[in-house]
Amino acid sequence: MASPPIPPPPVPAKTVLWRTAETLAVAAVGGIALTYIGFPAGLITGSLLGVAVAGLVGRPMMIPVWLSRIISVLVGISLGAVVSPETLKGLVTFPLSVAVLAVSTLCMFAATTSYLRFVHGWDPQSALLGASPGALAQVMVLSAEYKADLRAVAIVQTLRVVALTVGIPTGLSLFGLTASGGIVARLSAGPGSPIELAILVGVSAAAALAVWRLRLPGGLLFGAMLGSGVLHGGGFITAALPWWVAGAAVVGIGAVTGSRFANTDPRTLLRFLCAALGSFAVAISIASLFVLLLTALASVRIADAVVAFAPGAQDTMMVLALAMHLDPVYVGALHLSRYLLVSLLVPVLVHRMARGAPRPPRERPPAQRRPTIED
C-alpha cells in the first residue's frame, strides 16, 4: 500500500514577511507608474500587472490570507464612502437590471462553454467551469472534485480578470465615458474627525464580520461596504478613510489578483492563452449586447452597465467602478446577484454533466460452469 504524500513544510514566518513585502512593493511601483502616466484606473491595473509579471518570471509573489481579509474590509469601507442619498435613488432600476443580467449570464455560459468545447476540444466539465463568470473559489473546488483540468480553468479565469482590468478602463476612456481623478479624488472630502473615523471603521468592521460569518459571497467586502454605505447614505457621518489608506487597499487588491500567477510556468500560460483570449472575446461580446439592451430599456449609464455586466471578479470590478467615478453600489449589487446565480447554477450543471458522461463498461465475472455428473 502506497504511503500518503508528505505535505510540503510550512514556509517560515520571516520568509512570508519578505515575500509579502516584495509583492506589495512591486504592486505599489506598478500602480504608481501607471497612475503617473495617466492610465485609467492606474492603481489597480498597474499593481495587478506588476505582480503578475513578477510572478511569471519566477518571483515568489504572495499575500497572506489574513492580509487579504484586511484589504477586503478597507476596500469595502472605501466603496461605501461614496454612497449618498442621491446614489440610493438609483435602486429603482435594480430589478430590471438583475433580470437582464440573469439572461445575459445564461447566454454567456452557453456560448463560452460551447467555444471551449468545440474550438479548443475541452471536456464538458472543464469547459463549463472555465466559462463561469466569476465565483473563482467555488469553481476551483468543483474543478478538483470533478477531475476537471485545474490548470486550464485557473489560467483562463485569471487571464479574463486581467483582460477586463486592463481593457475596460482603456475602452471606456477612449469613448469618454469615465471621469478623471481616480480614487483619491473620490475621497477628497478627507478623513473627518477621529471620532467619526472610529465609528466608520468600527461599524464597517462589525458588519463585515457579521456577513462573513453568514458565509455570504465576498462577505468581508460586501459587509464593510454595507456598514459604510448605511452611515454615508443616511447622512450620519461624512468621514472617509485617509486617501493613502484607500489607495493602499486598492493596490492590495491588485496584488492579491496578480499573485495568482506565482509558480506558473510561462510555457503553460502560453498553451492556454488562445483559449483564454477567445473565451474572453465571446463573453465580453455577449455582455456588450445585453448592456446595449439594458441601456435602451432603462436610464442606466453605459459605463455603469459595462462594469456591472463584465464577467470578472466582484472585488476587482467594484474597485474599477470606484476608480472610474462610477456607481459602486449598482455594480456591487449586480455582481452579487450574478454570484448567487452562478453559485446555484454551476454545481447543478457540472453534476448533471458528470452523470451524463459515459461510464467505462463493467467487466462481467466469468460464467460459472454448472456441475456435471462427472464432477
pLDDT tens for each residue of 133-182: 876 666 776 777 778 887 788 888 888 888 888 888 888 888 777 655 55
Length of the chain: 375
At residue 373 the predicted structure's pLDDT band, cuts being 50, 70 and 90, is very low
Q: Is the pLDDT of residue 118 over 90?
A: yes
**CA–CA gap between residue 170 and residue 311 (Å, rounded):** 17
Q: Is the pLDDT of residue 249 over 70?
A: yes
Comparing 320 with 30, the larger pLDDT belongs to: 30
Q: What is the mean pLDDT of the chain?
A: 81
Contacts for 232 with CB less than 8 Å, ≥ 6 apart: 80, 81, 82, 83, 84, 238
Q: Which three cell numbers stand for residue 371?
A: 456441475
Q: Which residues of 145-168 are buried (b: 16+ CB within 10 A; e: fewer)?
A: ebebbebbbbbbbbbbbbbbbbeb
Contacts for 21 with CB less than 8 Å, ≥ 6 apart: none
First to last CA, the chain: 40
The region of weakest confidence among 87-91, 139-143, 246-250, 304-308 is 87-91
Q: Is the pLDDT of residue 76 over 80?
A: yes
CA atoms within 13 A on the CB side of 210: 11
Check if CATH label 3.20.20 holds for domain 16-354: no
3-state secondary structure at position 360 = coil
Catalogue the long-range contacts made by 178-182 (C-beta closer than 8 Å, 24 or more residues apart): 178/40, 178/303, 178/324, 178/325, 178/326, 179/324, 179/325, 181/325, 182/35, 182/41, 182/42, 182/43, 182/323
Question: Comparing C-alpha atoms, which of 208, 206, 195 is closest to residue 237?
Answer: 195
Residue linked to cell 439592451: 293
What pLDDT is recorded for position 365? Answer: 47
Contacts for 173 with CB less than 8 Å, ≥ 6 apart: 40
Q: What is the number of helices (H) and of strands (E) in the chain? A: 17, 0
Sketch the domain layout of the chain as residue ranges: 16-354
The DSSP secondary-structure symbol of 146 reads: T
**CA–CA gap between residue 51 and residue 34 (Å, rounded):** 13
| pLDDT tens profile 255-293 | 988 888 888 788 888 888 899 999 999 999 999 999 999
**CA–CA gap between residue 277 and residue 133 (Å, rounded):** 14
Q: Is the pLDDT of residue 91 over 80?
A: no
